[in-house]
Amino acid sequence: MRESTVHQTRLMFIWRLESRVTVMSACRALIHLSFLDANFQVFLRFHTMHSFFTRVNNVSALLSSCTMALLAAITIASLLQEAIYPPQIHGQISMKPVKVFNAKAPRQRRKQEMAFLNFNMTADLTPLFTWNTKQLFLSLEAEYENAQGVNNTVVLWDRIVRRPEDARVRVIGAKNKYAFKEIGGKGFSKGAATNASYALKYNLMPYVGVLRYGEAARISDVPFDVREEL
C-alpha cells in the first residue's frame, strides 16, 4: 500500500514537472514568434520605403534626362536654323565730329576732357527674332587706340528690345547716355586719340541655348573736335 502511494506521488510530481516544462516551452515559443514577427514587420517597412525612394529616384532621373535631351535638341535646331538661314541685318550710323570739352563729370571735383556725341542711327533687327529669341541687348560702342597703342572700348548708348515690333531701330539726333572720357586719363587733346570708330552691336539672348553676339552697323575714323570749355 505504501509503495503504491509512493508511486502515485512520483507520477504526480513528474506530471506537474512536465506541465511546467510544457508551459515554459510554449511561452518561449510565443516570445520567439513575437520577436520574429516584429523583425519581419521592420524588414517589410524598410523594404517598402527603399522601393518607394528607388522608384522616385528612377523617375526623376528619367525626367531629368528627357529634359536635358529636349533642351539640347532645341539648341541644336536653333543653331542649325541660323546656319542655314543666316539673318540679314541692315544698319547705318551717321555722326558729326565728336566735340571734346573740359567739363566736370558727375561725382568728380576737377574738370577733365569729355566727349559729346550727336548721332543718327537706323537698323532693322527683325530677322534676329525667331521662335527661340527672348530679347536683344543693343549697344553703341566707341573703339579707339590711345598713345600707348592700347585698344579701348567704351559703351555710350544701349537699349533692350523685347518685341519684334521694336526691332526697327531709328534714332535721330541722339546723344551719348554715358560719359565718354579717355580711359588712360591723359585726355584727347594730348594725342591720346585723334579719332574713333563707332559700332552698333547686339547681344541675342535665346530662351534656350547660348548667347550670340553680332554687329549691325559701323562708322570709322570719326575725328575728335577738341575745344577749351563747355
Query: What CATH number is given to the structural domain containing 162?
Result: 2.60.40
pLDDT above 90 as % of the chain: 32
Residue (of 221, 222, 214) closest to 123 by Cα position:
214
pLDDT of residue 228: 62
Task: Decide: 100 and 226 in contact? Cβ < 8 Å.
Answer: yes
pLDDT of residue 135: 95
62 and 92 housed in the same domain: no
Question: Which single residue is written with the C-alpha cell 526623376?
Answer: 60
68 and 178 housed in the same domain: no
- Say whether pLDDT at 41 is over 80: no
185 and 220 housed in the same domain: yes
- Say whether pLDDT at 55 is over 70: yes
- Say whether pLDDT at 140 is over 70: yes
Counted domains in the chain: 2
- Predicted structure pTM score: 0.69
Helices and strands (H, E) in the chain, number of each type: 1, 10
140 and 56 housed in the same domain: no
Task: Decide: 69 and 195 in contact? Cβ < 8 Å.
Answer: no
- Domain boundary residue among 70, 86, 102? 86
The dihedral sign for the CA sequence 170, 182, 153, 109:
negative
113 and 79 housed in the same domain: no
Residue span of the structural domain in which 93 resides:
88-229
CA 196 to chain centre: 34
To the nearest whole number, what is the mean pLDDT of the chain?
A: 78
pLDDT of residue 83: 83
208 and 187 housed in the same domain: yes
109 and 128 housed in the same domain: yes
177 and 68 housed in the same domain: no
What mean pLDDT do residues 4-9 have?
48
What mean pLDDT do residues 149-160 have?
90
- Domain boundary residue among 41, 62, 86? 86
- Say whether pLDDT at 166 is over 70: yes
Lowest mean pLDDT among 165-169, 199-203, 221-225: 221-225
79 and 8 housed in the same domain: yes
Q: How far is CA 19 from CA 12, 14, 16, 211, in A?
A: 10, 8, 5, 89
- Domain boundary residue among 86, 104, 134? 86
Say how many CA atoms lie within 13 Å of 173 toward its Cβ.
0
114 and 198 housed in the same domain: yes
**C-alpha grid cell, residue 180:** 565718354
Q: How confident is the model at residue 145 (pLDDT cuts 50, 70, 90)?
A: confident
- Say whether pLDDT at 7 is over 90: no
116 and 183 housed in the same domain: yes
If one compares 20 and 148, the residue with the highest pLDDT of the two is: 148
Measured CA to CA, the distance from residue 39 to residue 33 in angstroms comes to: 10
33 and 98 housed in the same domain: no
